[in-house]
Amino acid sequence: MEKETDLEIFLREVGDIHPLKQTESVGLRATIEDSPGQRYRREIQEREVQEELWLSTDFVEPLGPEDILSFKRDGVQNGVFRKLRQGRYPVEATLDLHRRTVEEARSDVLRFIRRCARLDARSALISHGKGKRSDSYPVIKSFLAKWLPTIEEVIAFHSAQSFHGGTGSVYVMLRKSQKQKEINGKRFLNSR
């Protein structure tokens, strides 16, 4: 028996195959426009998913139970930051992260910050604990120190005064909403 060449094997296998007829029509469907509400909800959901992805739970620099958390974005006035550090802003919203896993805390923090921004809350208190029941270090506190500077709405934070939980809690100052900026602008113009 003769050994078949590759070409002969190929031709035998594809022998009954014929090219498809070419048509000029393309099978595209008309897209249906999303309503503004649907588009807004989808954008919010996509944004939250993206933010959860960059709020990493992989590695964190361990902090001590008594370490002070402190962060201020450029543009935040020193007097405003001093007042935050001293606990002189009214606490408009609170979040307790005690006994939460890192994953739960990450989701809770994002939802909390978004809700505060939506409700125009500017000053919040997050209780994270000192990790004294932990075998190693205050895990949630350490991750919170890593996450908060990466959240767009957070303009400053500092460990709380003892009457608000001390180094087991943190004051968080949030950016003004566009609505609040407009109100302040009108108030300023009317006072002239």
| CATH number for the domain harbouring residue 174 | 3.30.1370.110
pLDDT tens by residue, 16-70: 777 777 777 666 665 667 778 777 777 776 666 555 555 767 778 889 999 999 9
Q: Quick check: is 83 in a domain?
A: yes
Which structure tokens are listed for 32?
């249906």
For 49, list phi and psi in degrees, rounded to 5.
-65, -45
Q: Quick check: is 28 in a domain?
A: no
Helices and strands: H and E segment counts in the chain: 6, 5
pLDDT tens by residue, 56-102: 677 788 899 999 999 999 999 999 999 999 999 999 999 999 999 99
Please tell me the pTM assigned to this model.
Answer: 0.69
Q: Quick check: is 75 in a domain?
A: yes
Neighbour-count burial of 35, counting CB atoms closer than 10 A to its CB (0-12 exposed, 13-18 middle, 19+ buried):
exposed
Per-residue pLDDT, 49: 58
**Residue 159: which domain range?**
37-182
Per-residue pLDDT, 183: 75
Q: Quick check: is 20 in a domain?
A: no
| Percent of the chain topping pLDDT 90 | 52
Domain count, the chain: 1
Q: Quick check: is 19 in a domain?
A: no
Q: Is 129 left (phi over 0), alpha (psi -120 to 50) or beta?
A: left
Q: Quick check: is 109 in a domain?
A: yes
What is the rounded CA–CA span in Å between residue 59 and residue 7?
57
Q: Quick check: is 107 in a domain?
A: yes
